[in-house]
A and B are shown apart, each in its own frame.
Chain A
Amino acid sequence: MTFDGSRYVSNAVKALPPSGIRKFFDLAAQMENVISLGVGEPDFITPWHIIESSFYSAERGHTSYTSNLGLLELRQAISDYLEAKHGVGYDPTNEVLVTTGVSEALDVAIRTLVSPGDEVIVIEPCYVSYKACVLLAGGTPVIVDTHVDNGFRVTAEDIASRLSDRTKAIVLSYPNNPTGAVMDCATLQRIAELAQERDLIVISDEIYSELTYEGTHTCIAALPGMRERTVLLNGFSKAYAMTGWRIGYACGNKHIIGGMMKIHQYTMLCAPIIAQKAAIEALRYGEEAKQRMVAEYDQRRRFIVERLNAIGLTCFEPTGAFYAFPSIAASGMTSEEFCNELLREQSVAVVPGNAFGACGEGFVRCSYAASLQEISEAVTRMERFLADHAR
């Protein structure tokens, strides 16, 4: 008899839907000479001084474990940065946890907060992990849809209408992947009030906070009454082009961070010291390189939005992250049809909006973390694609 491995996979894992991106990735990976606007990471290489400094520490023998929480020097630097940037500081000895990317921080935060049966508000379209992490923790994700007419912003009323006695937390992620939406201070304030009224925790994934192109990013933890009630997640991947280093952090109330640390110490032990050293260098000397990259994203953002609108893929103006999220209504196709056909016929990869939640249907995510030439050529091919399929 042949061994059937699938019989041994837990029900929880079996029930987990595969990432919508995965399917599309397999398809795209088989093709050659694809122009990709499908990538969720910067097209810059990590600034050289960060690489050099981290490797120098490794050469000097800094290759060990660190404290479970992370190097104190890094936790202090993170706290100083948050204080200076958003006006919310944390005690580096017990309110900051350095993690292996925000992905780990998110998972650990949800496992720390969610008991089986608890409900967690997840606002879609959103990054693919939130719902999965809640499910794996035995919780129930409760989806709140956002729409283009409100700039893909969620309101306190939208959230309030989905709350129950079991609601434990709200996951917010602005600036948003995949829509590029940002949150205004007034709306956040009302959500903060709601969280306090209904005794909820806010898990705020602010990985794209530095990529805010108009106005300034409001950190919800900095709003009155929210410092203790927020688990703030952020990291280095997007702002400093450091995705492969896998380095992020969580800040919050010492009991919640302490709980997260417990899981982290049993499952991860600590974030890699080489990446922690790189992160210290990034916070200390990375400002100029970061600003240069942000300025460049901003120029490409204006370019891609105008071009998409010009070819008939109506695009609301994204003011954060590095994604444009145009409507593909003009094509008469579903998101998946559009992406599959565009890839097959024009060798351009963009990601179907429904990979980020059902309400992303009818949209596609175009990353402008690509060179101006690539963006320009990709949009030209999309224009040709639309013309070929015009009815």
Chain B
Amino acid sequence: MREDILRILDENDQVDPATIATMLGATEDEVRATIAELEKSKAIVKYHALVNWEKVNDDLVQALIDVKVSPQRDVGFDQIAERIYRFPEVKSVYLMSGAYDLSVAVQGKSLKDVASFVATKLATLDHVLSTTTHFILRKYKEEGVILEDKAELKRLVVSP
């Protein structure tokens, strides 16, 4: 039941516990208790809307930055990762295998904004060896959702 609840909420977090209970053939209390437990264990991190900011603000810029760092004794990559992810401009940080170490997504109000963040804040950190900045030109799909889905389903209104 936990995974069923998570799948429903992952798709649409507006579905209320009573509805989820009906959908899964459970009681509302069971669903509420399970959700509370999932929130407590941070399996449910937060509830949010998936916003396509391009629709409201053309200037907003996002970049993916490949960051090479030198890991530190005892703490490995964790400490330098934390120094980076604490910046509010940073949307996500992943430790990667391959040609670089950290993949950092940064959002800013303009191209200059992002460039300046990289040059003054990110590249100058101790243990950061190099950065390569890739600006995102267009988002097609985000969090499993196609942002501008042209394939709108056109079924007949009534069919046998």
Contacts and interface: CB of A to CB of B under 8 A. Distances in A.
A283 interface: no
Contacts of A300: 23
Interface in A338-391: 349, 351, 355, 372, 376
Interface string A122-165: 00000111000000000000000000000000000000000000
A50 interface: no
Contacts of B44: none
Interface string A25-51: 100110100101011110101000000
A190 interface: no
A21 B158 contact: yes
Interface size class, chain B: 10 to 19
A307 B19 CA distance: 10
B156 interface: yes
Nearest to B25: A302
Interface residues of A, number: 31
Contact of B160 (A19, A31, A302, A306): A19
A38 B158 contact: yes
Interface string B116-160: 000000000000000000000000000000000001010111111
A65 interface: no
A20 to B, nearest CB: 9
B22 interface: yes
Interface string B31-59: 00000000000000000000000000000
Contact of A128 (B15, B156, B160): B160
Interface string A275-319: 000000000000000000001000110110011000000000000
Contacts of A21: 158-160
Secondary structure dominating the interface of B: loop
A349 B160 contact: no
B15 A372 contact: yes
Contacts, number: 63
A208 interface: no
Contacts of B156: 25, 29, 39
Nearest to B159: A40
A174 interface: no
Given A45-B151, A372-B15, A303 B23 contact: yes
A245 interface: no
A127 B157 contact: no
B24 interface: yes
Interface of B: 4, 8, 12, 15, 19, 22-25, 151, 153, 155-160
Given A41-B159, A43-B155, 13 more contacts: A28-B157, A28-B158, A29-B157, A38-B157, A38-B158, A40-B159, A43-B153, A299-B23, A302-B22, A302-B25, A303-B23, A307-B22, A372-B19
10 contacts: A28-B158, A36-B158, A39-B155, A39-B159, A40-B160, A127-B160, A302-B25, A351-B158, A372-B15, A372-B23
Interface of A: 19, 21, 24-25, 28-29, 31, 34, 36, 38-41, 43, 45, 127-129, 177, 295, 299-300, 302-303, 306-307, 349, 351, 355, 372, 376
